[in-house]
Homo-oligomer: A and B are copies of this chain.
Amino acid sequence: MSPTPARNRPIGRVALVVKNSTAAANAAADLENHLRQKGLDVVVDEPQVDETCPPDRSRVHPLPSEVDLVVVLGGDGTLLYAARTFGRQGIPLLGVNLGGLGFLTETSLENLYPMLEKVLAGDFVTESRMMLAAEVHRNGRPVTHHHVLNDVVINKGALARILTFSVKVDDTNLTWYRADGLILSTPTGSTAYNLAAGGPIVYPTHESIALTPICPFTLSNRPLILPQTAVIEIGLEPGATDALLTSDGQVSCPLLPEDRVVIRRAEHSIVLIKNPYKNYFDILRTKLGWG
């Protein structure tokens, strides 16, 4: 369970992903100055509240492969956005929280500059975190494609009381569920919605997919941990209306009754820069109020 030493590529261009708040904007301005004074190139991005569905591929991000580091200033929510948007390129992400410790934003603002020194000097370790890819199939062809770091949720909309859907794993029938919804979670996402819905904590680098029904009608429909290689196909019952696909709790797309959602491990993992002074269990104890 030891982290991976990072690739040893010199850092020339840094992207800042900044939460939409005054505190984050101020911290970003300081950081931008600091980095420019060091002769680094800086680009700034702010998460878009109104992400379109399906994701608008034409939205231009000035972040091609020449970005060498992404610094996230915000909370876990901002990092989820950054991971979905830039995480696929293998660029290391450094998560900085502006308030309390996050599961993903392990570095506090006061430790940012000492930490950054080390990162710029190449003295850091990273950890790979698997992502999930979700595809909606409509009339026989994929209509949208999402990557998530935490979870994909199929849930009922405002008016539905309960959803009925069938699940196949690797082309084998698992079962059908009657529930408020279904969460497919990465290990990273296991401490988010999955935990609130009764799922277990999964060690973040232990690759697997947690399938957790939300308020299932059948009480023995317990959370299920599947191999990371599993291909999960979810079908809504014919005539089902008012279902949604939600990615990382941030982007929701309406589903049509005949849609099929296929979820599998994404091809690429994100690369998180680790705080050398915090291990996962420290974070768990703090965030969950243990002992």
Contacts and interface: CB of A to CB of B under 8 A. Distances in A.
Contact of A219 (B170, B173, B222, B226): B222
B224 A203 contact: yes
Nearest to A249: B161
A227 B206 contact: yes
Interface in A250-290: 250, 252, 254, 279, 281, 284-285, 288-290
Contacts of A196: 179-180, 215-217, 219
Interface in A197-235: 197-203, 205-206, 208, 210, 212, 214-227, 229-230
Nearest to A158: B157
B290 A220 contact: yes
Contacts of A172: 1, 279, 281
A103 interface: no
A197 B215 contact: yes
A1 B170 contact: yes
A242 interface: yes
B215 A215 contact: yes
Q: Could you say how many copies of this chain the assembly holds?
A: 4
Given A175-B281, A221-B290, A200 B210 contact: yes
A41 B169 CA distance: 41
A174 B289 CA distance: 13
A249 B250 CA distance: 26
Nearest to A197: B215
Given A200-B200, A206-B227, A281 B173 contact: yes
A159 interface: yes
A128 interface: no
A65 B45 CA distance: 65
A195 interface: yes
A53 to B, nearest CB: 11
Contacts of A201: 222-225
A291 interface: yes
A206 B174 CA distance: 16
Interface of A: 1, 157-159, 161-162, 169-170, 172-176, 179-180, 190, 193, 195-203, 205-206, 208, 210, 212, 214-227, 229-230, 242, 244, 246, 249-250, 252, 254, 279, 281, 284-285, 288-291
Given A175-B290, A193-B215, 10 more contacts: A1-B227, A161-B193, A172-B279, A180-B196, A190-B225, A196-B216, A203-B227, A205-B227, A218-B289, A218-B290
